[in-house]
Chain A
Amino acid sequence: MQGFAATKLNEFEQGKISRRTLIETLTLAVTAMCAANANAAQVAAPRGVKAALVNHVSYTCPDFKQAGDWYSKVFNLDQVGLKETEVTLPFGKKGEQPYNVTAKDVPLTFIICRTRDVNAPPANGAAPRPRPTALINHIGYTVADFDRNRVRDQLKAMGVANLRDGGEYSLHMTDPFGYDVQISGLANNALTDV
Chain B
Amino acid sequence: MERFIADLIGKFETGTISRRDFCEGVALAAIVYAAGGAEANAAPPSGLKMLGVNHISYACPDYRKARDFYSSVLGMEKLKDDGKGRVNLAFGPAPGKGGSFIVARNAAANAPAPARAVVDHVCYTISNWNDARVNAALKAQGQNPTGRSGSVNVYDPFNVQVQLASAEAENPFI
Q: Which A residues lie at the B interface, using CB under 8 A?
A: 1-3, 5-6, 9, 12, 19, 22-24, 26-27, 29-31, 33-34, 37-38, 41-42, 45-46, 48-62, 67, 74-77, 80-81, 88-92, 94, 98-101, 103, 105-110, 118, 126, 129-147, 151, 154, 175, 177-180, 182-194
Q: Is there contact, CB below 8 Å, between B99 and A59?
A: no
Complex CA gap A22/B8 in Å reads 11
Shortest CB distance A87–B (Å): 11
Given contacts A31-B1, A51-B126, A190-B79, A76 and B48 within 8 Å (CB-CB): yes
Complex CA gap A147/B41 in Å reads 12
Given contacts A50-B91, A54-B124, A38 and B34 within 8 Å (CB-CB): yes
Q: In the assembled complex, which residues on chain B have CB atoms less than 8 Å from the CB atom of A12?
A: 9
Complex CA gap A169/B126 in Å reads 29
- B-side interface size class: 35 or more
Shortest CB distance B81–A (Å): 11
Complex CA gap A72/B28 in Å reads 33
Complex CA gap A141/B56 in Å reads 9
Q: Is there contact, CB below 8 Å, between B26 and A139?
A: no
Q: In the assembled complex, which residues on chain A have CB atoms less than 8 Å from the CB atom of B57?
A: 136-140, 180, 182
Q: Is there contact, CB below 8 Å, between A33 and B58?
A: no
A-B pairs, top 3 by smallest CB distance, nearest first, are A134-B158, A134-B60, A50-B75
Q: Is there contact, CB below 8 Å, between A193 and B76?
A: no
Binary A-proximity of B15-41 (CB < 8 A = 1, otherwise 0): 000010011101111111111001011
Q: In the assembled complex, which residues on chain B have CB atoms less than 8 Å from the CB atom of A90?
A: 172-173
Complex CA gap A181/B91 in Å reads 20
Q: Is there contact, CB below 8 Å, between A2 and B26?
A: yes
Complex CA gap A3/B58 in Å reads 31
Binary A-proximity of B146-174 (CB < 8 A = 1, otherwise 0): 10000000011011110111110011110
Q: Is there contact, CB below 8 Å, between A26 and B125?
A: no
Complex CA gap A186/B43 in Å reads 12
Q: In the assembled complex, which residues on chain A have CB atoms less than 8 Å from the CB atom of B171?
A: 107
Given contacts A57-B119, A74-B48, A137-B59, A41 and B97 within 8 Å (CB-CB): yes
Some 8 contacts from A to B, beta carbons below 8 A apart, are: A54-B92, A56-B122, A101-B93, A132-B160, A135-B58, A142-B54, A147-B43, A179-B119
Q: In the assembled complex, which residues on chain B have CB atoms less than 8 Å from the CB atom of A2?
A: 23-24, 26-27
Given contacts A27-B2, A50-B75, A188 and B155 within 8 Å (CB-CB): no
Complex CA gap A9/B26 in Å reads 11
Given contacts A75-B50, A101-B92, A59 and B117 within 8 Å (CB-CB): yes
